[in-house]
Amino acid sequence: MRLLATLALAATALAAFPADAMQRDQHRRSARDGGQEAAFNAAQRGRILPLGAILSRVRIPGAQFIGAEFDPSGTFYRLKYIRGSEVIWIDVDARTGRMIGRR
């Protein structure tokens, strides 16, 4: 009887493990993909502008766009440009497309 109870407890613990592991994996994937999934979902819901619309508004003379990250908690895009050996980071409000910072 005790063995059966132990097996039932172990099965219950293992059943909860895949959901927890999937949640952690999804969080890691989201962080790794630069927030692409979160940005896509927010744009589909009309909460933010799509990245293409943002890029058409931001001009950095002589610089080449090399990537973007989306911060879902702050609803901004961080755009990365390169000009010669200089890396330029531009923060843009994802809802309005207005530049809010530059480093």
| Domain count along the chain | 1
Residue 11 CA to residue 1 CA, distance in Å, equals 15
> Has this prediction a pTM greater than 0.85?
no
- In sequence order, what DSSP letters do the residues of 23-65 get, joined into one string? HHHHHHHHHHTTTHHHHHHHHHTTSS--HHHHHHH---TT-EE
For the segment 72-85, the average pLDDT, to the nearest whole number, is: 92
- Across 74-88, average pLDDT: 95
Pairwise pLDDT comparison (44 vs 73), residue with the higher score = 44
Asked if pLDDT for residue 68 goes beyond 90, the answer is: yes
Domain that holds residue 72: 2-102
More confident residue, 74 or 56: 56
